Amino acid sequence: NTQILLKSRPTGWVTPDNFERTDADIPAPAEGQILLKTLYLSVDPYMRGRMNDVKSYVPPFQIGAPLQGGIVAKVEASNNGKFAEGTYVSGMGDWADYMVTDGSGFTPVDPDLAPLSYNLGILGMPGMTAYVGLKGVGELKDGENVFVSAASGAVGQVVGQIAKNMNCHVAGSAGSDDKVAFLKDELGFDEAINYKTTPNLFKAVREANPNGVDVYFENVGGPILEATINVLNFNARVALCGFITDYNATLEEMAPGPRNLVVLVGRSVKMQGFIVFNYPDLCKEWVGIGAQWLKEGKLKYRESVAEGLGNAPQAFIDMLKGKNFGKQIVHVSDA
Ligand code: NDP
């Protein structure tokens, strides 16, 4: 039973040396427990925060213990009447081939609803985040103008498609020409910009949002936030979902805050941060809507799949650097 442990806490960028691989026997489930075989695990930006020893909305990873994150697993053996052998679950699990648990925090998933890995993406936490940010925080209405950063990622691609399904004008930013082409040609974004190569970010954001922006879904922070503030409409809403520009930076290295916050005053803008799990009703609502839209062909979902548990650390590091194209997951084993 291979496990990936946290060996040391990173300062700045995460490196492979921060992880350690161990092998142990497959654990046996005690009374009331189940044995889970990991099929897929999720690597997500918030995990970078859990590598630091600071108090946050999720406790830090412990040195010498397996990292944890979203997993989809098969119930390999069960001493718990709530979980039948051979069924599938998702929840927060160890970076390991196998683990035992009493099942708390795990929910059954239906393999016929969508590919199992989608429970870590479009029908899981990232999809819920998109819906919560747009509806719960952004109060998005049909036909408004939406801009989203990190638009081709796990959350961003769902944000854009929800907004398109609500007849909005949708624009996004991403870090490569391939990602930009995907947003426009595959997902139906009205406009998309490559923030890395555009010579003038302020001009590019303005041109991508010809009617201004009513809801800005912020995944990134830094220069793109400042450029977008300039084009916010009267009564616009800014849903602060994440600031990935800062996750690997020390305080001194962080991008300076936007210089143009004064715009929010005159244009009566609401800017609000949020954590997806504080909106359980909307999360549940999304799983129903998302599954239905997938069935009707109203949603697409792109994944980047790394092969094997041993590649999870590198997949995580690569995702933080933008090498992922779509939701980054790790395929650990077949059912
Ligand atoms: P993604 O799949 O979007 O992967 C991260 C992406 O961030 C990369 O692919 C890269 O795309 C982009 N990126 C990395 N570094 C930079 C940079 N310096 N400047 C601009 N873009 C960068 O991740 P998720 O969709 O899972 O997460 C997106 C955001 O949502 C994160 O900030 C995350 O923390 C946040 N989040 C917040 C939640 C909440 O409850 N508030 C819940 C879930 C996620 P590119 O090539 O385009 O640069």
**Residue 250 scores a pLDDT above 90:** no
* Residue 55 confidence (pLDDT): 85
User: 256: pLDDT confidence band, cut at 50, 70 and 90?
Assistant: confident
Q: How confident is the model at residue 335 (pLDDT cuts 50, 70, 90)?
A: confident
The predicted pLDDT at position 36 comes to: 98
**Ligand 1 centroid distance, CA of 121 (Å):** 13
DSSP 212-263: -EEEEEESS-THHHHHHHTTEEEEEEEEE---GGGTT--GGGSPPPPTTTHH
- C-beta 126 within 6 A of ligand 1: yes
Q: What average pLDDT does this structure show over 218-231?
A: 97
- The response to whether residue 132 sits with its C-beta less than 6 Å from ligand 1 reads no
**What b-and-e string marks burial along 185-207, b requiring 16 or more CB atoms within 10 Å of the CB?**
eebebbbbbbbeebeebeebbbe
For 50-105, write each residue's pLDDT tens digit.
Answer: 999 988 888 899 999 999 999 999 999 999 999 999 999 999 999 999 999 999 99
Establish whether residue 155 lines the binding site of ligand 1, counting it when its CB lies within 6 angstroms of any ligand atom: yes
d(CA 292, CA 10): 41
Query: Which residues, other chains included, contact 278 with Cβ-Cβ below 8 Å and sequence gap of 6+?
Result: none
DSSP lists the bridge partners of residue 21 as 4
In the chain, where are the structural domains located? 2-119+301-331, 125-278
What is the topology classification, in CATH, of domain 2-119+301-331?
Answer: Quinone Oxidoreductase; Chain A, domain 1 (3.90.180)
Mean pLDDT of 274-285: 97
Atom of ligand 1 nearest to the CA of 328: 2
Give Cα 70 to chain centroid, integer Å: 11
pLDDT of residue 252: 85
Band (pLDDT 50/70/90 cuts) for residue 255 is confident
**Residue 220 alpha carbon to ligand 1 centre in Å:** 6
- Minimum CA distance residue for ligand 1 atom 45: 175
Q: Is the CB of 150 under 6 A from ligand 1?
A: yes
What CATH homologous superfamily does 125-278 map to?
Answer: NAD(P)-binding Rossmann-like Domain (3.40.50.720)
CB distance 242 to ligand 1 below 6 Å: yes
Does 319 contact ligand 1 (Cβ within 6 A)? yes
What pLDDT score was predicted for residue 156?
Answer: 98
Q: Which of 166, 170, 190, 187 is CA-nearest to residue 178?
A: 187
As for the ipTM of the complex, it is: 0.99
Q: What is the 3-state secondary structure (H, E, C) of 140-160?
A: CCCCCEEEECCCCCCCHHHHH
Residue 258 near ligand 1, beta carbon < 6 Å = no
| Atom 16, ligand 1: residue with shortest CA distance | 245
